Amino acid sequence: MDNNGSDLFVIILLGFFLMLFMVSFIIIMVIYHRQRQIQNQQKVESMKAAYENTILNVEKEIREDILSYVGRELHDNVGQLLSLAKLNLSSSKAEKVHEGKILINEIIREVRSLSKSLNLDWVESITLEEFIKMELGKLESTEFCKVAFQNNGNPLQLSKEKKLVLIRIIQESLNNSIKHAQPSLIEITVHSDNSKSEIAIKDDGRGFVVSNNSEGSGMFNLKNRMNTIGGELLVQSKIGKGTEIKLILPLSAN
């Protein structure tokens, strides 16, 4: 009888400890899960803040570039047209006055075009492919080097914010090529399929040794910007063989 009582006591005691263990385990799992939720939430907030900061910086840089361009155009182009218009309108000859009026209309068109460029809403009105063609067209008009563009696959479907980031990265990549590579050809290829979109910016210039040190802060910043929009930036370069920069956006980031 005593043995049965002892066995029952041991069973109850073991059951109590087992229940205590299960309750403790559940509490620990709930706390752990809650901590993971907090960490994930903090990570999401951090990524969101980085994304918003990237967009703000990109918009600021593009506006600064546009303002610089507008300043040059006002000084070199519109200013010259105004001087010519003034000379023609001051003439006593009817044909010269007529030419002056034509110049005034041209000046109005130029100023309207410059005014439109100050508003970044133009980004929504063009595709990334159209922007690339426009940038390469500007470069070709300077006769700095030859240019080429290839577009394979589906048109890129991007939000205004992601398009802005890609526009800035493409601009910076072209500027780096112009400043440092001394290329005879710059080629941009856009490829998009059901899994990813890829933009390749390639030149046949001087090239450089790709390493963490040689890429510098400029390339590091471009890579960070691609990361904030869910993409990846890859660099391939060899001395004397040129450079290729690939901007890769998985389907989920498009």
Asked, for residue 15, whether it belongs to a domain, the answer is no
Structure confidence by residue, pLDDT tens digits, 29-66: 888 888 888 887 877 777 777 777 888 788 888 878 77
pLDDT at 131: 92
> For the whole model, what pTM was predicted?
0.67
Structure confidence by residue, pLDDT tens digits, 118-156: 777 788 888 999 999 999 998 998 889 999 999 988 888
Closest CA relative to residue 154, chosen from 94, 107, 196 = 196
| Domain at 194, CATH number | 3.30.565.10
Domain that holds residue 166: 124-254
Structure confidence by residue, pLDDT tens digits, 190-240: 998 888 899 999 999 999 888 754 455 678 889 999 999 999 999 999 999
Asked, for residue 253, whether it belongs to a domain, the answer is yes
Task: Decide the pairing of beta strands 196-203 and 185-192.
Answer: antiparallel
CA distance 119 to 124: 11
Tally the domains of the chain. 1
Asked, for residue 197, whether it belongs to a domain, the answer is yes
**Does residue 164 contact residue 55 with C-beta atoms inside 8 Å?**
yes
Estimate the crossing angle of helix 94-118 against helix 79-89, to 10 degrees.
160
